[in-house]
Amino acid sequence: MKTKKLWCAERVQRLMMSIFLLIILALLAKGYSVAGLALLAFMSVMLFIHFIFDFCPSTVLLEKIFGSCYCECKDENDENQL
């Protein structure tokens, strides 16, 4: 179940990705194409690793700091059980 937390690991990770993409865009706009393309390649490889292994190092680290956006609430009934 999703909670209503503003600062949780998955949301912070998405914010970091958007800022990273803005930095890449700024580097490309300023003419630093090698640096921008290197960062874009790094991000693409990390997203591919996340796709294949379902593992993202930044999310693991951020979960320890902020906690997950998904909670395992014991008070709520499991929808899969009858």
Question: Which residue segment(s) compose the domain that 35 sits in?
Answer: 9-66
pLDDT: which is higher, 28 or 75: 28
Q: Is 58 part of any domain?
A: yes
Q: State residue 3's pLDDT score.
A: 54
Does pTM surpass 0.85? no
Q: Is 49 part of any domain?
A: yes
Q: Is 34 part of any domain?
A: yes
What domain count does the chain have?
A: 1
CA dihedral sign of residues 80, 75, 71, 7: positive
Q: State residue 13's pLDDT score.
A: 92
Q: For 17-71, what is each residue's pLDDT tens digit?
A: 999 999 999 999 999 999 999 999 999 999 999 999 998 888 889 999 988 887 6
Q: Is 77 part of any domain?
A: no
Q: Is 16 part of any domain?
A: yes
Does residue 13 contact residue 19 with C-beta atoms inside 8 Å?
no
